[in-house]
Amino acid sequence: MSRHRNLALFLVLAAVWGSAFMAIKAGLEFFPPVLFAAIRYDVAGVIMLAYAAVVVDDPIPRTRGEWTLVALGATLLIAAYHAFLFVGETDPNVTSAVAAVLVSLSPVLTTVFARAFLPSERLTLIGTVGLLIGLGGVVVLSQPDPGNLLGQGTGAKLLVFLAAASFALGSVLTGTVDADLPIETMEAWSMILGAALMHLLAVGLGESVADIVWTWEAVASLAYLSIAASALGFLIYFDLLDRLGPIEINLVSYVAPVFAALSGWLFLGEVIAVPTVVGFVLIFGGFLLVKREAIRQEWSRYLASRS
């Protein structure tokens, strides 16, 4: 029964996070990009902080290490990731599916950054091949034209790639901080401070609340991203992280693009192009090679639990 529950929640999480790329694309018709991301996490941060206050004994970081953890999360996992992603998705060449596939490179990049910042870790020859295959998928998706490097949305796709890299780097660096902070507290304060950083960036970019066009579509996209994709999505993620472990839950990154493509096609009429599919296959193949030992261990553990 618990396996059926876990599978159902896994699919819900993939659907919610995958369709979030479509909701971002839809909302960008009405919001300046960085301000849109900031307001999303104003709402989500308040919801997560309220949740942390209920489930955690002390929902406020106290030590220098805990605030360092929050600062890294706010800067890389929230502000940098979403600023790059939202600006990248303003380009019509970056469909919901393309953005989701590029972001799915994050687990591969996480392993690479772990090798760089954790001396005990090293990338094997096969792992290096997996990394190169994954990066090859990015090249296929980006379709760079040597005569016009910003053509076909290459620059915008690079921004989404930087979003994935920011998230991967943040995931590794937060793991190096010696602080015992509940994940709910870390996420809540990271969202709030990350939103503040994006508000500052939005001001620097000349974005203003006056630029927002308030329609029911704008409110719907904001509500979906803040409540469903952020608050509800992270609650499901926390639950599954405890039950499935980090390797299995990482697979959500490779199911989400399916829902991103379907929702983009259904609601926005986006076309699923061949390079998107090929890029996804290459990135997923790279993930399997880079994570092969961890996947083998998880599979052995699964088989043992069934016997």
Model pLDDT for residues 144-190, shown as the tens digit of each residue: 555 444 556 888 999 999 999 999 899 889 888 888 888 889 999 99
Region of 218 (left: φ > 0; alpha: ψ -120 to 50; beta: rest) is alpha
Q: How confident is the model at residue 265 (pLDDT cuts 50, 70, 90)?
A: very high
In tens, the pLDDT along 21-46 reads 999 999 999 999 999 999 999 999 99
pLDDT at 242 over 70: no
Confidence check: pLDDT of 19 > 70: yes
Examine the pLDDT at 279 and tell me if it is beyond 70. Answer: yes
What is the reported pLDDT for 148?
45
Mean pLDDT value of segment 278-287: 84
User: Is the pLDDT reported for residue 130 higher than 70?
Assistant: yes
Query: What is the pTM (predicted TM-score) of this model?
Result: 0.87
- 128: pLDDT strictly greater than 80: no
Q: Of 69-78, 152-161, 164-173, 265-274, which has the strongest mean pLDDT?
A: 69-78
What's the pLDDT at 119?
61
CB 288 within 8 A of CB 295: yes
pLDDT for the residue 254? 81
pLDDT, tens digit, 9 for 90 and up, residues 82-123: 999 999 999 998 999 999 988 988 888 887 787 777 666 566
Q: What is the pLDDT of residue 149?
A: 42
pLDDT of res. 20: 97
